[in-house]
Chains A and B, each alone.
Chain A
Amino acid sequence: MSTTSAKIAPKFEVKSRASLASAPTKISVSNLNFFYGRTQALNDITVDVPERMVMAFIGPSGCGKTTFLRTLNRMNDVIPGTRVGGNVLIDGQDIYTPGADVVDLRRKVGMVFQKSNPFPKSIFDNVAYGLKINRLAANNRELRDRVEEALKDAALWTEVKDRLKTSALGLSGGQQQRLCIARALAIRPEVILMDEPASALDPIATSKIEELIVDLKKQYTIVIVTHNMQQAARVSDLTAFFLLGKLIEVNSTEKMFTAPDQKLTEDYITGRFG
């Protein structure tokens, strides 16, 4: 028999997958505005990305999520006529401060793109490339060790260890994308930005990339842009919803997909947007 009390209040709230409150902040963005010429692409974005967690950016095409991702390692700098305002701090250091070392920033904040883009070189040389140009390996033995380590971390080693000298272009689409992840990991970044890393892959290759993302967060802070909401739900600890250049809501992924705070988010997630 159950008995009711006069006051019935919620006992359990939806909890986050990870302990979000206790995680230190890796990236802190405040009042970020971004312009392509006179067009404002990002409006007053403020968000913190906790260390060693996965944050997913979702939103309709053109909402600014990729633009925002690219502000985190100053990839937009190469586009003429762009302007950025506000602050982006990584480990407390403003990456847009005059005199900031952009090469060092991109070493620290690696990026994986939507379309895999291996160099027309061998598998080994693809992964070794960043190590060589940054002179991060003291000798050939260390170079080999770090290539192997990166390929293992990218869950590709067992598939390619016997053909390291063959062309990377002979790998499948999913393998090429993991090779690009290995190439990013080889220089030991602290943050990995992923722009729709599995959008061109079949479900099996996608599943491998997703498993890899979950595995990599033990060591890295990961920010991923995805159009696939189920993917965001599967791999991320936090989800941020962008719309028309504005950040509408950031929440734990569980909360976002079961009970978002904002109606706009709910409309988007339930597919009733627009």
Chain B
Amino acid sequence: MSNEVHRHLDEELDALRDRVLRLGGEAESALRRVMHSLAERDTAEARAVLDHDDTIDQLEVEVDRQAIDIFALRQPAARDLRFVMSVTKMAPVLERIADHACNIARAAIDLHHEPQLKYHVSLYRMGEIALEMLAAALDAFTKNDAVAARVVMERDSEINELYNQVFHDLIEMMADEPATAQRDARLLFIAKHLERIGDYVTDICELTVFMAEAAIIKHRH
């Protein structure tokens, strides 16, 4: 390959990285806005998240197209192969995170029409941790840093513990005050969405480890 061809490949890989990071940024923004909307009972913000979802879906398709072009035209190998492979697997995960944010937005809009329930500290803490994890996972991906990715993965257990706590609290509330059961159930769904986002962030970290170390740690933990 000539230097000119290498330059083109590097430019294409950089463009792919930029696009997937943009998708990551959009997913992060959707999650941040929806948690803010939930806390502040801001229906307009929740609707804005839903309206923006098409843009995120489109970004995922663009990442796919770019990656397919690189596979077909450049036949990447070694670190380039691992990078493009990781990006193609990461894009749908990020899109899924944004979908969960949308599901939270729908639940939030419904909740905003109801009287406010007790403030669930653990639920909001789940959202904060999910956001911190997502930001750190994208940072580890950008720096090709498997050590940082592994640190992020460890935090998934924090979300899981909080989810168990929220789950028990809400079940208890449903039993104590059956009139609030519908609202409790919506909060329970929100907690489940946040718990799933933690799992998806873990998937992103696994892909970063693969990209950096060629080690497949999926289903290991």
Q: State the A residues within 8 Å of B (CB).
A: 1-6, 8-14, 229-230, 233, 257-260, 265-266, 269-272
CA distance A259 to B220 in the complex (A): 20
Write the B131-161 contact mask toward A (1 if CB under 8 angstroms, else 0). 0000000000000000000100110110010
User: Is B199 in contact with A11, judged by CB distance below 8 angstroms?
Assistant: no
User: Is A259 in contact with B150, judged by CB distance below 8 angstroms?
Assistant: no
User: Is B221 in contact with A269, judged by CB distance below 8 angstroms?
Assistant: no
Name the B residues within 8 Å of A230 (CB-CB). 75
User: Is B79 in contact with A270, judged by CB distance below 8 angstroms?
Assistant: yes
Q: Within the complex, which residue of A2, A229, A269 is in contact with B156, where a contact is CB–CB below 8 Å?
A: A2
CA distance A271 to B220 in the complex (A): 33
User: Is A4 in contact with B221, judged by CB distance below 8 angstroms?
Assistant: yes
CA distance A65 to B76 in the complex (A): 23
* Interface majority SS (helix, strand, loop, mixed), chain A: loop
Please, how many residues of chain B have a CB less than 8 angstroms from a CB on the other chain? Answer: 31
CA distance A65 to B82 in the complex (A): 28
Q: Which of B19-27, B48-56, B174-182, B208-216 contacts A (4 or more CB under 8 A)?
A: B208-216
Name the B residues within 8 Å of A12 (CB-CB). 216
- The residue in chain B whose Cβ has the minimal distance to the Cβ of A255 is B214
CA distance A229 to B74 in the complex (A): 12
Q: Which of B1-9, B35-43, B65-73, B95-103 contacts A (4 or more CB under 8 A)?
A: B1-9
From known contacts A8-B220, A13-B215, A266-B79, infer whether A2 and B202 are also in contact, taking CB-CB under 8 Å: yes
User: Is B78 in contact with A8, judged by CB distance below 8 angstroms?
Assistant: no
Does chain A have a CB within 8 A of B81? yes
Q: Within the complex, which residue of B81, B156, B163 is in contact with A258, where a contact is CB–CB below 8 Å?
A: B81
User: Is B216 in contact with A258, judged by CB distance below 8 angstroms?
Assistant: no
User: Is A3 in contact with B221, judged by CB distance below 8 angstroms?
Assistant: yes
